[in-house]
């Protein structure tokens, strides 16, 4: 029984995002061996392209062989030792996850809990830093996929430097869609995922370790608790030594290579502008449909748009209708946002005007059917204005 | 810059193995969301097919989102708690790896070290079991990829039952190529990898947990140290609840589905017979070239053939020539076998007469060039006799 051709669902949820046909083609190329010179050359080029999108010169930059959460785990198991005091900012699911992962590494985690849908104030972090000595790391989510909030990073870098702590940043939903700028911002340790703004299928987690992070790693007194994610092995495979550790996921790396090549061809600034414009157009259209945004304008992610579900409208019913009648996937809310929030992704190849308009029309139609009166035509006009600027 | 088309290298090393074109095609299909009903149906079917190839009714059977070594780590982090006493059989790299992973879980590991190239005698395990109380798990590698040894499992099952321990089995290089028979043999916990006899590209690690293993897991007193591999989350995604944990590697699962469908169409017993016959034909040919096998006939893996490099012949030179002049990859030796042993894989789609003959011809030619006199024609005749039986 052959795999039946998956339907052409338009992925406008929180990820995976639509995959460019070039990437799918690259992924289906002949599988080479993980020590084959031609594959190693592709791996090297992939890491060079990764440095470009991270905007870093960090030598230790490579894709972890797992999905985004494996990137989070790879960062923490390598940098945190039992007893380390670390501070994690939590204003959504992924900050919470970071705290959970860190505590499983034996860290003493101090949580900075903050309201969902808003960035965490620097003062909240500062209060905690003042009250705790020897915090080795501050962890924060740049792009909180559960809420659509963009966390400003500069003040946290300042804070980290002031208290001599590392800054760990989750960029799963930002890398390739909005500036991450690892070197310019002086971020110490950053990971992401393939399947959001990079636009490749899920399965790899790009990561980059700065000098301070490597120093902390080199000074470890205990073994890394994960063999699979142990950086001392991984750097020997991804570096010049080419020592076998685990079999790299060859075809996934072809896909990542191609995704990064496409980004390179587009140029980062063009790509960021595209994400920004399409997000603004979507928001303008949704607002015209009578839908309110969760996040204040200054802190909205262009990649992931969180909006309140209109009163009286059933979350699941709308999502099912979008999927069945229009072949569009959008995401529901997680945790306290479950049933209250839709998460609409415009990421990578998916961030384009055509998709913005498809969604506005489809959502307008279904909302009207379900008794929320609105005009998709007007919404499209409002949305279209953004493109005139 | 588009990915340049990888060369069509014939993968006759220790894995990855050659990938059937149907699998590459399946992998390049449209990426669905990880909670899309159509994808979840593919995921369910994949797990049903996985149960068939494991020959088990175990409900908890799914692919771990990482390569084979992530399967090893998933097995151990979930089943081992700090302070657990466990016994690991080591006669190659992968037993050693199992011991390393287990000790990172806080286990008190008792190693049963044994000669490379031979199976471990049951008595060696028994001696250890007699001398240690409360061993909770015996871990063993069914198909040692570093040596080509097949470890007989039945006596170890008996031993495990006698001492009330779990039996953990690494089948990375056996599943889909020779009988694993999880239920018939009463194995408790078994993992594998995509890229060997299953014939899919690397990136997933199928795993199956039997009832005793699940009981041990349910009775844990401590949190699983890996968030990414924590079975309590994974079972909620792969089971009926469909609770989001991490984004499943969608296209890799398409590939695994297709690989398992191909196995289902061929039938396990046909597939095992094919692997067996081609391995015998290869060995007959290599012996006629004056090359000796590492492993005694009764314990040879049909999937991975380890042979001694003829005296005076340089390992790397031959492998480079095979790759450059004949587009064939074979593997070198690891650890004490480095420079002394070649590892020749005939796995999955790669296990066929045509490949056996290609390798015999190519190796015969290069060995003659390098001063090891032999006749490829005679070797092909000897090899061909196997197919007359």
- pLDDT digits over B314-323, tens only? 999 999 999 9
Residues A187 and A39 in one domain: yes
- Of the CA atoms within 13 Å of residue B146, those in its CB half-sphere come to 21
Q: In the predicted model, is pLDDT for residue A232 greater than 80?
A: yes
Most confident of A240-254, B141-155, B234-248: B141-155
CB A186, CB A58: distance < 8 Å: no
State the pLDDT at residue B329: 98
Q: In the predicted model, is pLDDT for residue A60 greater than 90?
A: yes
State the pLDDT at residue A1: 86
Q: Kindly report the CATH number assigned to the domain that includes residue A115.
A: 3.40.640.10
CB A342, CB A309: distance < 8 Å: yes
Q: In the predicted model, is pLDDT for residue B223 greater than 80?
A: yes
Contact list, B245 vs chain A (CB under 8 Å): 69
Region A343-362: mean pLDDT is 98
Q: Kindly report the CATH number assigned to the domain that includes residue A291.
A: 3.90.1150.10
Region B197-225: mean pLDDT is 98
Whether residue A95 lies within 8 A of chain B, CB to CB, comes out as: no
User: In the structure, what pLDDT confidence band is assigned to residue B65 with cuts at 50, 70 and 90?
Assistant: very high
Of how many residues is chain A composed?
389
Domain boundary among A265, A295, A310: A265
- pLDDT digits over B192-209, tens only? 999 999 999 999 999 999
B251:A34 CB<8 A: no
Q: A146 CA to chain B: closest CA distance, Å? A: 12
For an interface test with A, the pick among B33, B37, B191 (most A C-beta atoms closer than 10 Å) comes out as B33
Domain boundary among B218, B247, B265: B265
Q: B38 CA to chain A: closest CA distance, Å? A: 7
B31:A8 CB<8 A: no
Residues A218 and A297 in one domain: no
State the pLDDT at residue B281: 98
Contact list, A39 vs chain B (CB under 8 Å): 6
Closest CA to B34 of B209, B254, B259, B229: B254
- pLDDT digits over A292-328, tens only? 999 999 999 999 999 999 999 999 999 999 999 999 9
Q: Which residues 319-338 on chain A approach chain B with CB closer than 8 angstroms? A: 323, 329, 334
- How many domains would you assign to chain A? 2
Residues A253 and A343 in one domain: no
State the pLDDT at residue B62: 98
Q: Is A3 part of a structural domain of the chain?
A: no
Residues B114 and B60 in one domain: yes
State the pLDDT at residue A291: 98
Q: Is B209 part of a structural domain of the chain?
A: yes
Residues B57 and B76 in one domain: yes
Q: A106 CA to chain B: closest CA distance, Å? A: 9
Percent pLDDT > 90 in chain B is: 98
A202:B7 CB<8 A: no
Q: How far is CA B186 from the centre of its chain?
A: 19
A36:B2 CB<8 A: no
State the pLDDT at residue B372: 96
Whether residue A67 lies within 8 A of chain B, CB to CB, comes out as: yes
Region B242-253: mean pLDDT is 95
State the pLDDT at residue B197: 98
Cα distances (Å, whole numbers) of residue B138 to B89, B96, B312: 8, 13, 41
In A149-245 the beta strands, taken as DSSP E runs, fall at: 149-150, 166-170, 189-191, 205-209
State the pLDDT at residue A240: 86
Region B47-69: mean pLDDT is 98
- pLDDT digits over A373-387, tens only? 999 999 999 999 999
Domain boundary among A265, A296, A330: A265
Q: In the predicted model, is pLDDT for residue B369 greater than 80?
A: yes
State the pLDDT at residue A160: 98
Residues B238 and B293 in one domain: no
Q: In the predicted model, is pLDDT for residue A162 greater than 80?
A: yes
Whether residue A256 lies within 8 A of chain B, CB to CB, comes out as: no
What residues does A64 pair with on adjacent strands? A205
Of A9, A33, A265, the CB nearest to B13: A33
Find the domain containing A357 and state its range: 267-386
pTM of the model: 0.98
């Amino acid at each position: 029984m052959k795999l039946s051709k998956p339907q052409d669902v338009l992925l406008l949820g929180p990820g995976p995002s639509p995959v460019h046909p070039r990437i799918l083609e690259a992924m289906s190329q002949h599988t080479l061996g993980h020590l084959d010179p031609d594959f190693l050359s592709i791996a090297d080029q992939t890491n060079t392209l990764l440095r470009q999108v991270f905007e870093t010169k960090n030598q230790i930059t490579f894709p972890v062989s797992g999905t985004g959460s494996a990137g989070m785990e790879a960062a923490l198991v390598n940098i945190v030792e039992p007893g380390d005091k670390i501070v994690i900012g939590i204003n959504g699911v992924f900050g919470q996850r970071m705290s959970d992962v860190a505590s499983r590494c034996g860290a003493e985690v101090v949580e900075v809990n903050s309201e969902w849908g808003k960035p965490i104030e620097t003062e909240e972090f500062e209060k905690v830093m003042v009250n705790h000595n020897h915090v080795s790391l501050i962890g924060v989510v740049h792009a909180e996929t559960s809420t659509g909030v963009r966390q400003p990073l500069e003040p946290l870098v300042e804070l980290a430097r002031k208290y001599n702590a590392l800054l760990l940043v989750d960029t799963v939903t930002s890398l390739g869609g909005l500036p991450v700028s690892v070197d310019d911002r002086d971020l110490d340790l950053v990971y992401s995922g393939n399947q959001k703004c990079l636009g490749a299928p899920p399965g790899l987690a790009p990561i980059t370790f700065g000098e301070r992070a490597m120093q902390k790693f080199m000074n470890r007194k205990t073994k890394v608790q994960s063999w699979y994610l142990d950086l001392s092995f991984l750097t020997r495979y991804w570096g010049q030594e080419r020592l076998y550790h685990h079999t790299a996921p060859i075809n996934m790396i072809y896909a990542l290579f191609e995704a990064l090549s496409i980004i390179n061809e587009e140029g980062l600034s063009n790509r960021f502008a595209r994400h920004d414009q399409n997000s603004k157009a979507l928001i303008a259209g949704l607002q015209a449909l009578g839908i309110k945004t969760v996040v204040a304008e200054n802190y909205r992610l262009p990649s992931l748009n969180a909006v309140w579900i209109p009163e009286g409208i059933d979350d699941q019913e709308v999502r099912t209708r979008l999927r069945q009648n229009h072949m569009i996937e959008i995401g529901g809310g997680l945790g306290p946002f479950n049933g209250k929030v839709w998460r609409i992704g415009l990421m990578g190849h998916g961030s384009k005007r055509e998709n913005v308009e498809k969604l506005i029309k489809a959502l307008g139609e279904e909302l009207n059917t379900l008794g929320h009166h609105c005009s998709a035509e007007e919404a499209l006009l409002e949305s279209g204005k953004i493109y005139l600027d």
